[in-house]
Amino acid sequence: MILISIACVLLFAGSISGLFGRSFAISGRRTGAILQAIGCLALTIAGYQGLNGPGWESVPIVLPHLGAIAIGMDRLTGLFIMLLGIMGFSTSLFASSYLEHLEQRWNFHWLPILYGIFICSMSGVFLARHTILFLFFWEMMALSSFGLVILESWQERNRRTGFMYLAITHLGAALLFLGLLWPCAKAGLDFTFSGWLVGIVSMSVKARFIVFSALLLGFAAKAGLVPLHVWLPRAHPQAPAHVSALMSGIMIKTGVYGMMRFFVTVSPLPMPAMWGWLLLFAGLASALLGVLYALNEREIKALFAYSSIENIGIIFMALGMGLLFRSEGRYALANLAFVAALLHSANHALFKGILFMGAGAIQYRTHTLNLDELGGLARGMPILSIMFFVGAVAMSGLPPSNGFMGEWLLYRSLIAGFSVSHLSWKLFLPLIAALLALTGALAAAAAVKSFGCAFLGRAKKVDLHIAPDPDNYMLSGLGLPAFCCLLLGFFPELFSQPIAKMIAEFGYGPMPQPHASLMWPRIAGTEGLQPLLIASLLTVGLLAAWVVLKRLSYRKDKYAAPTDISSIEAIRIVDTWNCGTPLTERMSYTGSSFSEPFLVNFALMFSPRRNFRALGSLAPLLPTRLTYAIRVSKVFEDYMYRPAIAGILAISHSFQRLQAGSLQGYLSLMFFALIVLLIAAK
Amino acid sequence: MLTGIAFAIRLLIKIAALAILAPLIQGCIKQFKGRLQGRHGPRLLQPFFDLIKYARKEQVISRETSWVFSAAPLFSFAAVLTAALMVPWVDRSPWPFPADLILFVYLLAIPRFMMALAGLDAAGSFGGMASSRESAVSALAEPVLLLSLLTIALPGGSLHLEAIPVAANSLPLAARAGGLAAIAFYCVVLAEIGRIPVDNPDTHLELTMIHEGMILEYSGPLLGLLHFTHWIKQITLLVLLFNVFIPIGMMVESTGAWTAIIFSALIAVVTFLAKMITAIALLAITETWLAKLRLFQMMDLLGFAFVLSITALLFVATGV
């Protein structure tokens, strides 16, 4: 409680000091950001205590009609608060330098304030134990993030994106109001979480179905689950990079938190298997669509935003598996799936933080995020490239990174479903596991595209001399999550053990038993995985190969750095082989050319429309210039949102006829409406 | 302690066997393929001579490259070696470290990831083209690889690579599901080790190459390491194909009289060699018999394999 208060005070102090951007000799920006970082550190400690220790609950205020406005800390809250603290700490450090190039923008002064409110409201969402308070913080989070998205509101595109985000997030919030307040009203206007629980138990099956549907839609809209994902790839790239990192890492996880809180933790009701299947298939659709669109994106931040949709899909698949297993009474397996969901949430927050901040650092140096223009940054920014590489490996879910560990648990729980003797389980779950493998391979390709086209090869339109590594504040902002990614890859039990304890406290059946200190939680039928052994085996192989190669090739200067290859005798530096002609940067593969085979292979879904034109006076035969444009259809936007919006507009246009401009007409219309309402109310 | 030492000894034996057999099998395939095509073919030991030659050469490195270029072969080698050590060869006694097939599939994804990056690193078109193609092909291959192994592993209830042959007491190949999964798995093996009809390992014709395109810029010891890594991957997948689908002759847990142990070990080694000879013949015949597919027809081949493994899953799930 004290730590949380300290954190809030520091976050606001940071906001205020950030307000005085250039007024004083010492940079208000840096002081503010560092105050905010310390505030986030306090959050991290509070979260760590909550995750590992006993929780607490306190009632700061008692309001006349709303009752005790309680906040509380338990392991679930602690996990998310700790993640928020870690990521907030890194992003604040990162921001202390990154904001430099945004200072010139005219409404920059809003940024530190909104940023402080954003972090505080997210921790409020996790801490609230009262539905009204929860919704209050939920709205505050939505509004502050809306403010952060429309910082560049002089651009038409930015405003449109912002309003789209606002619309969808409020649609979700309206559903949440329904889902949270209706049961509370049933329970005699008891607005605490326990009141909600009393209300939902007393409801009929149909009403309960409506409540849970409303909650699911509300949380899915925030999480960016397909088909409510459309705002996400637009809004995330518009915000400043460190805010995108928080939005993608933590804000969309509030949806996951809400699902855990209201579907899993506080709801002891037997959920029909239908909910599990629904979440599983919605998650699968998100994962596949998200990664396919990610592959096709040209802008780094949009690519990562789509990848967030993919990872949210993976998390929802795990949640769905948990609910499915619960409906079958397989509580141990259900718990395994919930561990997978939470662990992957944590992992995704960490690696997506690296990637978004890395994208921000690229933008800071090169002023572009277009993969078709970037390239070759690794030679100027070796340290940044290594951190980005860690993020890319984790994004691909490759061992021994943390990304693999979460996915591994999901695979295990999917495959464990084969032991349930329903044909649909036996058939669909292994198939879904295979499609998850497809997702993983496509995610790896997207990671190759983002890392390879930005950091490797030759720069297409960027001057590499102006792109050295960013300063230490930014690098340490990236370094912390990168370190956490590797740490959790080698020692996943650091998170998985407390999560397993948390899930044991839900009170459902046996728990994944920790098998040995270095191993995974292990339950009957699934053998453990020893990340440390695998990692050490990998390392031994790596070292052996390295030593042998050193012996063979670096004969003269034994320990010259591999980057400084010119100092070594046995290595000759030459041009890249290009059939004997000089290599130009236009020959280097761009992001678009990299994803071309995927467009062809998945043409059914993308339905790409290519526009290839030869220009010049001797046009088709001897063109002097070629232009190529491609448009890829977005399934849900083209076939769901566009017709829906068009329909709504058409209906509202048809009402225009009533708008004749005569006052008498309007008055009589209102009068009739009143009469109709009175009759209806009778 | 004793098990630890035994484990270390087994590990060393396996690494030694890998170092000898992986290049040898490559030599045998080339030799046999040559014979089938009416050529003499290179010597059986040629891969060893190649490795020695590569080790002595100087490195020629493009000026466009970064640290990824040197790191990629090392990471690939380490990952492939780890994956190779998980696959049971002659005995099916469990390894002390868990090695389930999900980890195996993901370990094999590491070299693809690293080499796709390395292909982009040198800024040439060939490298980029190859990385892009490799990513596209492997994205289609990975689900089939997992699903075809799963269909065999699921009824046994264990995902451990060495437990799959134990659980499948009979011959999975003879069963309907096993047969279909075996064909699917073989298609993936062809894609994974870059052989006709997916990729032509013998060509440097720029527009057709996938694997060779990514390693085009490598030379000297690093190139040798890449070839060696590729051969280890090849033998590992072939062994897995045979030991999962035809798990005959493999040594069981070593208990009983030492004569019996030696006898069963002998049988296991002999059947293992016989399996490898069959694998060599299979690959050589496939490569001679088929032509390389067009790049975008790969989708058909791997889609066919995917449908086969789904059908196999259907048989397994219904228990027909």
Banded pLDDT at A520 (limits 50, 70, 90)? very low
With contacts defined as CB-CB under 8 Å, which chain A residues touch B109? 396, 398, 440-441, 444
Q: Are B280 and B241 in contact (CB under 8 A)?
A: no
What's phi and psi for A611, nearest 5 deg?
-125, 105
Q: Are residues A311 and A445 in the same domain?
A: yes
Least CB–CB distance from B59: residue in A385, A526, A553: A553
With contacts defined as CB-CB under 8 Å, which chain B residues touch A427? 313-314, 317
Of A475, A496, A529, the position where a domain reaches its end is A529
Listed in sequence order, the DSSP H helices in A53-155 are 75-98, 110-127, 131-149
CB contact under 8 A, B133 and A597: yes
Could you read off the pLDDT of A254-285 as tens digits, one per residue?
999 999 998 887 666 677 889 999 999 999 99
d(CA A398, CA A405): 9
Q: What is the mean pLDDT of residues A501-511?
A: 69
Q: Residue A424 falls within a domain, yes or no?
A: yes
**Which chain A residue has the Cα nearest residue B223?**
A549
Q: Residue A571 falls within a domain, yes or no?
A: no
In the prediction, which pLDDT does A141 show? 95
In the prediction, which pLDDT does B146 show? 94
The number of CA neighbours under 13 Å toward the Cβ of A549 is 23
d(CA A260, CA A80): 11
| Nearest one of A232, A234, A216, A231 to A281, comparing CA atoms | A216
ipTM of the complex: 0.95
What's phi and psi for A673, nearest 5 deg?
-60, -40
d(CA A257, CA B199): 46
Could you read off the pLDDT of A32-88 as tens digits, one per residue?
888 889 889 999 999 999 998 888 888 888 888 788 888 999 899 999 999 999 999
For residue A85, give both structure tokens.
Answer: 């603290």
Looking at per-residue confidence, does A127 or A33 come out higher? A127
CB contact under 8 A, A389 and B120: no
pLDDT at A490 over 90: no
Q: Are residues A502 and A370 in the same domain?
A: yes
Banded pLDDT at A562 (limits 50, 70, 90)? low
Q: Are A246 and A87 in contact (CB under 8 A)?
A: yes
Give the bridge partners for A523, in sequence order.
Answer: A526
* Residue from B58, B120, B236 to probe the interface with A (highest A Cβ count within 10 Å): B120
Could you read off the pLDDT of A211-257 as tens digits, one per residue?
999 999 999 999 999 888 889 998 988 889 999 999 999 999 999 99
Q: Looking up tokens 């526009």, which residue turns up?
A: A611
In the prediction, which pLDDT does A518 show? 31
For residue B293, give both structure tokens.
Answer: 């597919």
Tell me the nearest-neighbour CA distance from B243 into chain A, angstroms: 21
Banded pLDDT at A557 (limits 50, 70, 90)? very low
d(CA B310, CA B289): 27
d(CA A168, CA A352): 23
**Which chain B residue has the Cα nearest residue A599?**
B136
Pairing verdict, β A513-514 and A56-63: unpaired
With contacts defined as CB-CB under 8 Å, which chain B residues touch A447? 113
How far is Cα of residue A389 from the mean position of the Cα atoms in its chain?
Answer: 18
Give the bridge partners for B251, in sequence order.
Answer: B91
Tell me the nearest-neighbour CA distance from A252 into chain B, angstroms: 27
Sequence length of chain A is: 682
Least CB–CB distance from B81: residue in A396, A533, A541: A541
For residue B172, give both structure tokens.
Answer: 């999975």
With contacts defined as CB-CB under 8 Å, which chain B residues touch A525? 157
Task: Work out how many domains chain A is built from and give that number.
Answer: 2
d(CA A229, CA A530): 36
Domain ranges of chain B: 51-318
d(CA A59, CA A560): 62
| Nearest one of B48, B50, B115, B46 to B80, comparing CA atoms | B115
> Which amino acid appears at position A307 of this protein?
S
The number of CA neighbours under 13 Å toward the Cβ of A569 is 6
Is A217 in a helix, a strand, or coil?
helix
In the prediction, which pLDDT does A524 show? 33
CB contact under 8 A, B222 and A574: no
Q: Angle at CA B6, nearest 5°, toward B3 and B8?
A: 110
Least CB–CB distance from B106: residue in A399, A412, A423: A399
Q: Residue A200 falls within a domain, yes or no?
A: no
| Nearest one of A411, A470, A416, A471 to A440, comparing CA atoms | A411
With contacts defined as CB-CB under 8 Å, which chain B residues touch A563? 66-67
Q: Are B99 and B158 in contact (CB under 8 A)?
A: no
Q: Are B249 and B268 in contact (CB under 8 A)?
A: yes
| Number of inter-chain CB pairs under 8 A, A vs B | 272
CB contact under 8 A, A440 and B106: yes
With 0-12 CB in 10 A as exposed, 13-18 as middle and 19+ as buried, what is A155? exposed
d(CA A482, CA A390): 6
Q: Residue A253 falls within a domain, yes or no?
A: no
Looking at per-residue confidence, does A467 or A131 come out higher? A131
Please measure the distance between the N-terminal and C-terminal CA atoms of chain B and give it in whole angstroms. 46
Banded pLDDT at A657 (limits 50, 70, 90)? confident
pLDDT at A534 over 70: no
With contacts defined as CB-CB under 8 Å, which chain B residues touch A449? 135
Tell me the nearest-neighbour CA distance from A453 into chain B, angstroms: 7
Domain boundaries, position A664: 642-681
pLDDT at A556 over 80: no
Least CB–CB distance from B123: residue in A399, A526, A588: A588
The number of CA neighbours under 13 Å toward the Cβ of A481 is 44
Tell me the nearest-neighbour CA distance from A411 into chain B, angstroms: 8
**Which chain B residue has the Cα nearest residue A417?**
B154
Banded pLDDT at A585 (limits 50, 70, 90)? confident
CB contact under 8 A, A448 and B133: no
In the prediction, which pLDDT does A536 show? 66
Q: How many CB atoms within 10 Å of residue A472?
A: 12
Residues of chain B with pLDDT under 70: 1-4, 93-99, 165-170, 205-208, 253-255, 320
What's phi and psi for B38, nearest 5 deg?
80, 20
pLDDT at A674 over 80: yes
CB contact under 8 A, A441 and B143: yes
Of A529, A559, A583, the position where a domain reaches its end is A529
Of A467, A502, A529, the position where a domain reaches its end is A529
**Which chain B residue has the Cα nearest residue A561?**
B67
CB contact under 8 A, B147 and A430: yes
CB contact under 8 A, A571 and B58: yes
Give the bridge partners for B248, in sequence order.
Answer: none
**Which chain B residue has the Cα nearest residue A574?**
B62
| Nearest one of A514, A534, A314, A490 to A402, comparing CA atoms | A490
Could you read off the pLDDT of A179-192 as tens digits, one per residue?
999 999 988 888 88
Give the bridge partners for B61, in sequence order.
Answer: A573
Q: Residue A433 falls within a domain, yes or no?
A: yes
For residue A93, give both structure tokens.
Answer: 């450090």
Least CB–CB distance from A593: residue in B68, B74, B128: B128
**Which chain A residue has the Cα nearest residue B307?**
A431
- Average the pLDDT over each of A123-132, A587-596, B238-247, B253-262 and give the range with the smallest value: B253-262
Q: Residue A354 falls within a domain, yes or no?
A: yes
Q: Are residues A654 and A520 in the same domain?
A: no
In the prediction, which pLDDT does A77 show? 93
In the prediction, which pLDDT does A529 show? 57
CB contact under 8 A, A597 and B295: yes
CB contact under 8 A, B125 and A445: no
With contacts defined as CB-CB under 8 Å, which chain B residues touch A382? 66-67
With 0-12 CB in 10 A as exposed, 13-18 as middle and 19+ as buried, what is A507? exposed
Contacts of A607 (CB under 8 A, 6+ apart): A632, A633
In the prediction, which pLDDT does A519 show? 35
In the prediction, which pLDDT does A32 show? 83
Q: Looking up tokens 């798995």, which residue turns up?
A: B185
Q: Are A530 and B97 in contact (CB under 8 A)?
A: yes
In the prediction, which pLDDT does B118 show? 93
Is B233 in a helix, a strand, or coil?
helix
Q: Are A68 and A128 in contact (CB under 8 A)?
A: no
